[in-house]
């Protein structure tokens, strides 16, 4: 489809072409800092092409950012042609999708060899921003933006997604397992903690469930819970956080992993809290921005089970670079994904003492629920 170029006939006087471009680039940077400071969660990729008038091209998922840029250009009396695409395209009949495999890999570019950015679990809703050669650029409920191959999801209209949202569902609560066909002869797929399926029926010991693409399967009731019942009974406690965290011991470290198939440090803490009904931001550098600060000097007596410990470097000017996160268990011990998920200690005389992370400890924060999303709102966060 041919892209339309819109001409804004404003008069620009008093500056050379290079000076004009410099001003435009400065305005683009100003808008990017305000509306899309983190490229992991917001797109504002706008560039210029010299001409008379200047052509602005690129794409963004922040409609208000594009409007703000145009307002600034108008104030500076700069004429331009608009070739900036706003994602997703409004005419798309099925802008949403549900993850259709137990764990979908989301990558930094539309190719299997690209860096693993994050993962999304079966039944998770995503917003499809655009498609490219069998890949979809999607935004997850925690607003992380990355690419996944189209076989990993099924497209849904707004009406279809609403139907899935209101339907009875189950959430898989075991670390890992599988679903079987309705005649209980073979496996339909593997399942991991956090997978969500639609309920089509039930017996004494089995759920009848449907995948987003319409496949049907049976799931043991001992391995999954009714979604609404799970939500109403899920509240983080010291014991529930510790139990879930320890269930993941031994799972290998995987950069970009957020599932029982492999986890990075923030993927581990995110998954533990997800199974407590709380959606944390994706990365350690994002997780440090939520919650209540409990300690920044290494006074671990203030901590309680479930507090997040952040590690990294701190410059003389006070600027921190957070690169690692773990979860406090109590008794001077914490659990984290490093090589695999395992327990270490902050006690220098313990056999589990982690000297490396003790030296780069920055602060601890407590997740209170005030500035994080709830799993109950999973289907409303797109």
Question: In angstroms, rounded to a whole number, what is the distance separating the alpha carbons of residues 305 and 64?
Answer: 41
* Contact (CB, 8 A) for 218 and 179: yes
| Buried-state track 69-92, b at ≥16 Cβ within 10 A, e below 16 | bbebbeeeebbbbbbbbbbbeeee
Render 272-287 in DSSP notation, one character per residue.
Answer: HHHTTTEE--SSHHHH
* Contact (CB, 8 A) for 144 and 117: yes
Question: In angstroms, rounded to a whole number, what is the distance separating the alpha carbons of residues 255 and 194?
Answer: 19
The answer to whether 265 is a known catalytic residue is yes
Catalytically annotated residue among 17, 136, 336, 342 = 336
Catalytically annotated residue among 17, 136, 324, 342 = 324
Catalytically annotated residue among 25, 76, 136, 265 = 265
Question: In angstroms, rounded to a whole number, what is the distance separating the alpha carbons of residues 248 and 271?
Answer: 10
Question: In angstroms, rounded to a whole number, what is the distance separating the alpha carbons of residues 127 and 139?
Answer: 5
* Contact (CB, 8 A) for 132 and 138: no
Catalytic residues: 265, 324, 336
């Amino acid at each position: 489809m041919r892209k339309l170029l819109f001409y804004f006939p404003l008069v620009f006087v008093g500056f050379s072409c290079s000076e004009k471009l410099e001003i435009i680039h400065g305005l683009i940077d100003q808008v990017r800092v305000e509306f899309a400071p983190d490229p992991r969660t917001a797109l504002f990729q706008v560039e210029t092409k010299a001409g008379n008038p200047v052509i602005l091209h690129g794409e963004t998922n922040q409609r208000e950012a594009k409007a703000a840029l145009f307002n600034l250009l108008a104030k500076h009396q700069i004429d331009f042609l608009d070739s900036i695409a706003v994602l997703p395209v409004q005419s798309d009949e099925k802008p949403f999708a549900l993850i259709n495999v137990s764990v979908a890999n989301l990558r930094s570019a539309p190719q299997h060899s690209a860096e693993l950015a994050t993962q999304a679990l079966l039944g998770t809703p995503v917003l499809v921003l655009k498609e490219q050669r069998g890949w979809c650029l999607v935004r997850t409920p925690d607003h992380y933006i990355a690419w996944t191959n189209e076989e990993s999801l099924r497209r849904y209209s707004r009406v279809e997604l609403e139907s899935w949202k209101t339907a009875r569902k189950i959430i898989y609560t075991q670390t890992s397992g599988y679903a079987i066909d309705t005649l209980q002869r073979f496996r339909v797929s593997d399942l991991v903690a956090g997978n969500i399926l639609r309920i089509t029926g039930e017996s004494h010991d089995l759920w009848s469930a449907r995948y987003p693409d319409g496949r049907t399967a049976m799931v043991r009731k001992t391995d999954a819970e009714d979604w609404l019942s799970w939500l109403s009974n899920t509240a983080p406690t010291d014991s529930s956080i510790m139990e879930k965290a320890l269930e993941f011991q031994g799972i290998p470290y995987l950069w970009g992993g957020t599932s029982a198939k492999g986890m990075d440090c923030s993927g581990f803490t995110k998954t533990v809290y997800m199974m407590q009904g709380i959606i944390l931001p994706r990365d350690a550098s994002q997780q440090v921005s939520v919650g209540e600060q409990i300690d920044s000097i290494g006074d671990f007596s203030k901590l309680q089970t479930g507090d997040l410990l952040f590690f990294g470097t701190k410059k003389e000017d006070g600027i921190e670079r957070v690169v690692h996160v773990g979860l406090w268990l109590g008794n001077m011990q914490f659990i984290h994904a490093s090589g695999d998920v395992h327990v270490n200690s902050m006690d220098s005389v313990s056999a589990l003492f982690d000297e490396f992370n003790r030296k780069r400890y920055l602060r601890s924060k407590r997740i209170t629920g005030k500035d994080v999303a709830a799993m109950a709102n999973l289907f409303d966060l797109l």
